[in-house]
């Protein structure tokens, strides 16, 4: 009987250290137990994957132990919790990170050694969950790491895509997409919770009328239903606390199957199951673009309703009143992908739980906060009304009602005119009618933030200008951050250990302490150790790149790296123009002093983004030409690292000398790769864009290579009628570089292949590469000048790291906690 069972078990003692020890012997014993009893293998027959799985299970047990303690304290303290809603996560491989957070890497390594197993081989086997596209998804995972580390009660909700972001391979210079099979061998880190499942309705119609008591009631009669089941992955913070990543998987509702089955229609039953499961089959591989696809809307609604139903359940099982939901949960919307939550919470409160509209609206607005991650117009989500109505008829009514009340308010209380009202409406009626999700998110939240100081300002000035005028206090900034655990301690352990040996290891949870490194910036022996580690990291990367691409690079070269999604606004082609300019000058016998450089790229292109894919082909074509040209190839190499993901990224950041952050000013909301490079000692060459502005402020102007137009200058150029062709004509060297692209020299005589790219630059150049070209080339000269002074370079590299404290995701999460969520860490005994 359940009561007796729970009375008899004292959780603290169950999870006490005597039961699951962290000693080498205990790890060894658990590992063998997991192998025998967890997966039914004897060592002689165990495959590498069996061994990996057994170790993962061994570690998972220890995570749960920590976890139960956290959960206990949370429920005892009745603390306010954060629910983070994100359609994307990019956690990266779990094993090594969990060992680090449990501080058991050394004894686990020994335990494995004694069994004749190399720990690093097991770490290398792990396939990461690629449940996101880029910056937004990785940010969510850094935030989860910090929430756990800080001990803030948190659940992160998302979608358990069966196929995550595609694997990228390069064939004949082109990107080819392969399906991601991260679940192929199972996933030892997650636990399915079949009892935590919710019904999700789609389509159909609504019925308005009185219920049996005469109370007005809306009923949604759905066209179809599926079930969302929870899959939990425990996320361990550094040294202890935990948070949970709860991902929903779509399944068929049994009763549906049975109904068909009983009629003998076996096929229809199976088909329903297939259609249901489609919802969480695959991640849309677009970064910063939305396609208006029905399945995508279903994915969004699916995970949102499961998450909100779960939040309400968690609230009610504590015996709390639903009217106090906002006192107990702060719900963060990671961009607008989950913004339908605003209408869904209203539906749950009003239609299902029978609260009146005003009360429900008060709760809703006080629960939600919205983070915007981009100003790119093509990424601002909007749903066509007919599509939306087909999938979510009741939500359309609710959105109309929210909009009606809002527009009434601004018309009467604030006397806005019709043009302003049309501009602020949730419904875009300028042509075909659309729902503007950013407006819904802004109106339904008590807080709206951008992700860097500059982005938050632009958000108020441009995209949400009228809202910022109406509610100035609603808007704030939280500059992005990255976890120093994964992106320094784990991925650059030698550097982390050097740092700790000088200043102690307090920096791991208090990154500002890196400031204590400043006095050593001029210390020759510290500089030498610093640069020696960098060289080792470069050797390691060179070996990896050789294995992946066959291209050999000399670790002594300057490693100049651009790694991020391929996008015109990020301007990978500006980097290519620089490379070609170096190449052509070397060929002419100029640039005598040029320091040998390895130009390294990595990044995925959206499969439907033709120009981005052509850019990858261009980079690889330049690589082919340069790497085989014996006149230059001891001075320069070009490499495209395939399949940029968290695992590969962890090898790139520690090995970079120079970090390329060269987007057109005003385009990159924040950037987080910029932070990862700098935290690992790379110097940045960059524009005044996104968080570059703040990085430069922190590290000091002298320690940052700045070039290019400012936002204001970009605007002024646009207003004046930007003419890239004039720049092309006036700059002879630039002309040579550009013409070289279509000369056929890069493409076996084909002068047409890169023509679209060339013409785009000459006649449109929406991201103003030509305007920034000379400034970029000149700035690169300064980079090379400094590179010739190794001590100066080392000094600046050390200062960069010493001054990166601000960019810890711990600081970002503290900002969110203080400014927006009003939550505090739990006290754990």
List residues binding ligand 7GP (CB under 6 A): 133-136, 139, 287-288, 335, 373-374, 379, 451, 480, 668-672, 690
Q: Could you tell me the smallest distance in angstroms from the CB atom of residue 674 to ligand 7GP?
A: 8
**Distance of closest approach, residue 645 Cβ to ligand 7GP, in angstroms:** 14
Active site residue 564: yes
Quickly count: other Cβ atoms within 10 Å of residue 412's Cβ.
9
Encode 405-442 in three state secondary structure. Answer: HHHHHHHHCCCCCHHHHHHHCCEECCCCCEEEHHHHHH
Smallest gap, in angstroms, from Cβ of residue 605 to ligand 7GP? 14
Residue tagged active-site, from 394, 565, 604, 617: 565
The one catalytic residue among 24, 273, 676, 811: 676
> Which two tokens mark 552?
């050999």
CA angle 67, 97, 499 (to 5 degrees): 120
Mark whether 414 is an active-site residue. no
The two tokens of residue 316 are: 């009610």
In angstroms, rounded to a whole number, what is the distance separating the alpha carbons of residues 654 and 491? 7
How many angstroms from the chain centroid is the CA of residue 286?
13
DSSP 825: P
Shortest Cβ 139–ligand 7GP spacing (Å): 4
What ranges in 489-593 are assigned the alpha helix state H?
Answer: 493-503, 524-549, 572-587
CB of 451 to ligand 7GP, least distance (A): 4
Q: Residue 137 in 3-state DSSP?
A: helix
Is 587 among the residues known to form the active site?
no
Q: Quote the least distance from Cβ 334 to ligand 7GP, whole Å.
A: 9
Backbone phi and psi for residue 167, each to the nearest 5 degrees, phi listed first? -80, 135
Q: Which is nearer to ligand 7GP, 392 or 606 (CB)?
A: 606
Residue among 89 and 758 whose Cβ is closer to ligand 7GP: 89
Long-range contacts, 24-28 (Cβ 8 Å, 24+): 24/107, 24/108, 24/110, 24/111, 24/114, 25/111, 27/58, 27/104, 27/107, 27/108, 27/111, 28/111, 28/114, 28/115
Instruction: Look at residues 192, 215, 212, 243 and name the one whose alpha carbon lies nearest to residue 71.
Output: 243
Contacts 24+ apart (CB under 8 A), 41-49: 43/115, 48/121, 48/122, 48/125, 49/125, 49/185
Closest separation in Å from C-beta 436 to ligand 7GP: 14
The one catalytic residue in 273, 382, 570, 585 is 570
| Residue 227 annotated to the active site | no
Note the Cα 646 to chain centre separation in Å. 10
Here the tokens at position 667 are 């385009």
C-alpha 111/C-alpha 33 separation (Å) is 14
SS3 95: helix
Shortest distance, position 86 Cβ to ligand 7GP, whole Å? 11
Nearest CA to 158 out of 243, 89, 70, 78 is that of 89
Alpha-helix residue ranges (DSSP H) falling in 224-320: 254-262, 266-278, 294-317
For residues 108 and 133, which CB has a smaller minimum distance to ligand 7GP in the complex?
A: 133
Of residues 151 and 690, the one with the C-beta less far from ligand 7GP: 690
Euclidean distance between CA atoms 741 and 758, whole angstroms: 7
Nearer residue to ligand 7GP within complex by CB, 92 or 135: 135
CB of 653 to ligand 7GP, least distance (A): 15
CB of residue 290 vs ligand 7GP: minimum separation in angstroms?
A: 8
Both structure tokens of 344 = 């869904």
Neighbours of 519 (CB within 10 A): 12
Work out the angle at residue 772's Cα, subtended by the Cα atoms of residues 768 and 774, and round it to the nearest 5 degrees.
140
* Strand-pair category, 705-706 with 683-686: parallel
Cα 667 from Cα 113, distance rounded (Å): 49
Q: What are the backbone angles phi and psi of residue 235, rounded to the nearest 5°?
A: -115, 120
Min separation Cβ 754 and ligand 7GP, Å: 26
Among 373, 394, 436, 571, the one annotated catalytic: 373
Give residues with Cβ within 8 angstroms of 334, minimum separation 6: 84, 85, 86, 87, 88, 136, 139, 140, 371, 373
Residue 717 sits at φ, ψ, to 5 deg, of -60, -45
Question: Shortest CA distance to 225 belongs to which of 206, 252, 259?
Answer: 252
Residue closer to ligand 7GP (CB basis): 136 or 325: 136
Q: Name every residue whose Cβ is closer than 8 Å to that of residue 523 and which is 6 or more positions away in sequence.
A: none
Cβ proximity to ligand 7GP: between 480 and 491 the closer is: 480
Output the smallest distance, CB 476 to ligand 7GP, in A.
15
Sheet with 427-428: strands ordered across: 382-384, 434-436, 427-428
Token pair belonging to 504: 């102690």
> Residue 377 gets which letter from DSSP?
G
Q: Which of 296, 347, 564, 811 is catalytic?
A: 564
Distance CA 349, CA 346 (A): 5
Q: Are 456 and 476 in contact (CB under 8 A)?
A: yes
Residue 142 or 558: the one with the smaller Cβ distance to ligand 7GP is 142
Residue in the shown chain whose Cβ atom is closest to ligand 7GP? 135
Q: How many angstroms separate the CA atoms of 262 and 267, rounded?
A: 12
**In whole angstroms, what is the distance from residue 117 CA to residue 115 CA?**
6
Six-digit token pair at 74?
């949370």
C-beta of 150 vs 379, nearer to ligand 7GP: 379
Q: Give the active site residue among 70, 672, 684, 687.
A: 672
| 617 among known catalytic residues | no
Question: Does 565 qualify as catalytic in the annotation?
Answer: yes
Smallest distance from ligand 7GP to CB 516, Å: 28
Residues assigned a catalytic role: 373, 564-565, 570, 672, 676
């Amino acid at each position: 009987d359940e009561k007796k069972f729970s009375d008899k078990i004292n959780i603290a003692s169950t999870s006490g250290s005597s039961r699951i020890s962290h000693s080498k012997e205990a790890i060894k014993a658990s590992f063998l137990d997991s192998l025998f009893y967890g997966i039914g293998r004897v060592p002689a027959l165990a495959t590498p994957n069996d061994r990996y799985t057994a170790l993962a299970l061994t570690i998972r047990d220890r995570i749960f132990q920590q976890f139960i303690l956290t959960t206990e304290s949370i429920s005892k303290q009745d603390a306010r919790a954060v629910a983070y809603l994100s359609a994307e996560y990019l956690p990266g491989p779990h094993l090594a990170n969990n060992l680090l957070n449990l501080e058991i890497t050394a004894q686990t390594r020994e335990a494995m050694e004694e069994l004749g197993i190399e720990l690093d081989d097991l770490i290398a086997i792990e396939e990461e969950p690629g449940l996101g596209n880029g910056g937004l998804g990785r940010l969510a995972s850094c935030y989860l790491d910090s929430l756990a580390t800080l001990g803030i009660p948190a659940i992160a909700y998302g979608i358990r895509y069966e196929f995550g972001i595609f694997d990228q391979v390069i064939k004949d210079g082109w990107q080819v997409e392969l399906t991601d099979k991260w679940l192929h061998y199972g996933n030892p880190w997650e636990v399915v919770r079949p009892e935590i499942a919710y019904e999700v309705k789609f389509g159909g119609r609504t019925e308005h009328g009185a219920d049996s008591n005469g109370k007005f009631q809306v009923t949604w009669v759905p066209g179809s239903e599926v079930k969302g089941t929870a899959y939990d992955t425990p996320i361990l913070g550094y040294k202890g606390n935990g948070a949970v990543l709860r991902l929903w998987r779509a399944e068929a509702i049994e009763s549906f199957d049975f109904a068909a089955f009983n009629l003998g229609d076996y096929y229809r039953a199976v088909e329903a199951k297939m259609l249901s499961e489609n919802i969480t089959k695959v991640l849309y591989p677009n970064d910063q673009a939305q396609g208006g696809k029905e399945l995508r809307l279903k994915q969004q609604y699916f995970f949102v309703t499961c998450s909100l139903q779960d939040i309400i359940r968690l609230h009610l099982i504590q015996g709390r009143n639903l009217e106090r939901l906002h006192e107990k949960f702060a719900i963060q919307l990671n961009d607008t992908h989950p913004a339908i939550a605003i209408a869904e919470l209203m539906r749950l409160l009003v239609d299902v739980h029978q609260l009146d509209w005003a009360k429900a609206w008060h709760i809703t607005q006080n629960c939600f906060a919205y983070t915007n991650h981009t100003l790119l117009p093509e990424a601002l989500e909007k749903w066509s009304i007919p599509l939306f109505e087909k999938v979510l008829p009741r939500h359309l009514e609710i959105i109309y009602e929210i909009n009606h009340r809002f527009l009434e308010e601004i018309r009467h209380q604030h006397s806005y005119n019709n043009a302003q009202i049309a501009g602020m409406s949730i419904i875009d009626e300028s042509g075909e009618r659309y729902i503007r999700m950013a407006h819904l998110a802004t109106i339904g939240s008590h807080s709206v933030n951008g992700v860097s100081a500059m982005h938050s300002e632009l958000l108020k000035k441009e995209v949400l200008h009228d809202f910022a005028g109406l509610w100035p206090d609603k808007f704030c900034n939280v500059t992005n951050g990255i976890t120093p655990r994964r992106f320094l301690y784990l991925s650059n352990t030698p550097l982390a250990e050097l740092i700790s040996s000088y200043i102690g290891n307090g920096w791991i949870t208090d990154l500002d302490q890196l400031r204590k490194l400043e006095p050593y910036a001029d210390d020759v022996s510290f500089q030498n150790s610093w640069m020696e580690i960098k060289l080792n990291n470069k050797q390691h990367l060179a070996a990896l790149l050789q294995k992946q691409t066959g291209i050999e690079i000399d670790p002594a070269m300057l490693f100049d790296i651009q790694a991020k999604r391929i996008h015109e606004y990020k301007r990978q082609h500006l980097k290519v123009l620089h490379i070609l300019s170096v190449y052509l000058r070397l060929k002419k016998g100029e640039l005598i002093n040029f320091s040998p450089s390895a130009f390294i790229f990595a990044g995925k292109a959206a499969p439907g983004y033709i120009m981005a894919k052509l850019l990858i082909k261009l980079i690889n074509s330049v690589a082919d030409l340069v790497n085989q040209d014996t006149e230059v190839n001891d001075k320069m190499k070009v490499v495209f690292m395939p399949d940029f993901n968290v695992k590969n990224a962890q090898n790139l950041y520690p090995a970079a000398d120079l970090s390329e952050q060269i987007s057109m000013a005003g385009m990159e909301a924040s950037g987080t790769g910029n932070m990862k490079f700098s935290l690992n000692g790379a110097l940045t060459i960059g524009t005044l864009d996104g968080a570059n502005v703040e990085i430069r402020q922190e590290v000091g102007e002298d320690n940052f290579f700045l070039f290019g137009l400012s936002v204001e200058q970009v605007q002024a150029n646009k207003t004046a009628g930007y003419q890239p062709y004039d720049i092309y004509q006036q700059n002879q060297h630039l002309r040579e570089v550009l013409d070289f692209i279509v000369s056929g020299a890069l493409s076996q005589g084909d002068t047409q292949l890169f023509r679209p790219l060339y013409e785009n630059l000459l006649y449109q150049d929406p991201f103003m590469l030509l305007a920034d070209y000379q400034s970029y080339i000149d700035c690169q000269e300064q980079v090379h000048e400094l590179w010739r002074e190794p001590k100066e370079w080392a000094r600046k590299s050390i200062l960069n790291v010493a001054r990166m404290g601000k960019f810890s995701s711990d600081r970002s999460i503290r900002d969110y906690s203080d400014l927006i969520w009003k939550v505090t860490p739990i006290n754990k005994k």
